[in-house]
Homo-oligomer: A and B are copies of this chain.
Amino acid sequence: MNKIKVGVIGATGYAGAELVRLLVNHPEVEIKAVASVSYDGQELADIYPNLKEIVPMTLTAPEDIIPECDIVFASVPHGVSEELAVKCVENNTVLIDLGADFRLHDEADYKKWYGKEYKHPELHEKAVYSIPELHRDMVGKAMVIGNPGCYPTSISLGLMPAIRAGIIDTSHIIIDSKSGVTGAGRGLTQGTHFPDTNEAFAAYKAGCHRHTPEIEQTLTELAGSEVRVTFVPHLLPVNRGIESSIYVELNEKGKKLGAAQIHELYTSAYKDEKFIRVEKPGCYANLKNVRMSNYCDISLHLDEHCSTLIISSVIDNMVKGAAGQAIQNMNIRFGLPESTGLEYVPPAF
């Protein structure tokens, strides 16, 4: 089989740079082009010196690369992807969008949280949103795939077995997430200036983060009834990784189960999932164990005196939460084994 011709639009953003890092070692793809509006004409390795002599490519204009690619990954501001999708469909090029344009099924949600309307509603109807472990069967031959947000990925994977088993109260779920600073992107802000971020810690956008509707959409779909979440993200002074501590009350069915049975329910649900690792009882999911990799580690803790299950779910926000999951979706879309190019072993330190 010929190698898949791949393009990366928004290659100078953090998710774009991470895509390039991972794609270099993917055995079935050829990186055909890297594009950037801001750095058009410059060498990618001048912006990311880690890539020097490894990816000797010049950045081009986004529109130029679509015709020559079988698939394009886009990591661009919301609103921009929709226009790229139109061009991709015209060129029979698959688009995997790492932004928010193709994540929400309900345009009303998009309008409420992003302040814009869909210009091409028909595209959204055909687009697929895919956390592979939950939606891989829906990918099929979709030309536009909405790649999930980082927080929703860690949260949805952490909750799926409990919701499917019907052991928790899904009317209200409390989620306390913490993300490494790459989640805020490469753009400069006072809040991500080193002396302001280092030795610091705070919540932000408590109860009003844009990932909220995406989280509720997936959980509602899993539960079959409306799920509401109180979602509070925090900025963590590390480069990579998300930890989500999820608090759910056991319902009558759940209260009859002990910790061992709940654990068994999770290991069973994920027994065929290469990238999901359920911690042994008594162990805690730690984001250091999944850094640089596509794994999601999940640990379970039962607070019996409050009938509350605590689920800790960790991912690398740039890999399973962005570039890695996008490649996993590409593999599904092109009929490759799902873990192709994603075999990287997380380092211990």
Q: Please give the distance in Å from A178's CB to the nearest CB on chain B.
A: 6
The reply on A265 being an interface residue by CB < 8 A is no
A50 partner residues in chain B, CB cutoff 8 A:
288-290, 345-348
Q: Name the residue on B nearest A319 (C-beta).
A: B347
Q: A284-B204, A303-B207 are in contact. Are A49 and B230 (CB under 8 A)?
A: no
Of the candidates B203, B308, B310, B344, the one whose C-beta lies within 8 Å of that of A301 is: B203
- B237, A245: Cβ atoms under 8 Å? no
The reply on A75 being an interface residue by CB < 8 A is no
- A182, B206: Cβ atoms under 8 Å? no
Of the candidates B230, B236, B310, the one whose C-beta lies within 8 Å of that of A203 is: B310
Q: Please give the distance in Å from A317's CB to the nearest CB on chain B.
A: 11
Report the separation of the CA atoms of residues A32 and B230 in the bound assembly, to the nearest whole angstrom: 46
Kindly identify, within residues 263 to 316 of chain A, every residue whose CB is under 8 Å from any CB belonging to chain B: 277, 279, 283-292, 297, 299, 301-306, 308, 310, 312, 314
The reply on A91 being an interface residue by CB < 8 A is no
Q: A188-B189, A195-B349, A347-B50 are in contact. Are A201 and B236 (CB under 8 A)?
A: yes
Oligomer copy total: 4
A30 partner residues in chain B, CB cutoff 8 A:
none
Report the separation of the CA atoms of residues A229 and B303 in the bound assembly, to the nearest whole angstrom: 9
A49 partner residues in chain B, CB cutoff 8 A:
279, 283, 286, 289, 297
A229 partner residues in chain B, CB cutoff 8 A:
306
- B176, A25: Cβ atoms under 8 Å? no
A208 partner residues in chain B, CB cutoff 8 A:
303
Q: A207-B310, A240-B349, A349-B240 are in contact. Are A288 and B199 (CB under 8 A)?
A: yes
Report the separation of the CA atoms of residues A219 and B309 in the bound assembly, to the nearest whole angstrom: 22
The reply on A29 being an interface residue by CB < 8 A is no
**Dominant secondary structure at the A interface:** mixed
Q: A188-B189, A194-B181, A228-B305 are in contact. Are A348 and B48 (CB under 8 A)?
A: yes
The reply on A110 being an interface residue by CB < 8 A is no
A14-22, A59-67, A122-130 - interface stretch = A14-22
A194 partner residues in chain B, CB cutoff 8 A:
181, 192-194, 197-198, 237, 239
A301 partner residues in chain B, CB cutoff 8 A:
203, 206-207, 232
- A277, B182: Cβ atoms under 8 Å? no
The reply on A111 being an interface residue by CB < 8 A is no
- B202, A243: Cβ atoms under 8 Å? yes
- A202, B51: Cβ atoms under 8 Å? no
Additional pairs, 5, CB under 8 Å, beyond known A234-B245, A292-B347: A49-B286, A199-B239, A206-B301, A237-B238, A344-B344
Interface CB pairs A-B, < 8 A, 13: A21-B348, A176-B247, A200-B238, A202-B286, A202-B314, A203-B243, A203-B301, A206-B301, A206-B310, A207-B303, A232-B245, A239-B349, A292-B292
Pairs A-B, 6 closest by C-beta atoms = A207-B303, A202-B286, A200-B288, A206-B301, A176-B176, A188-B188
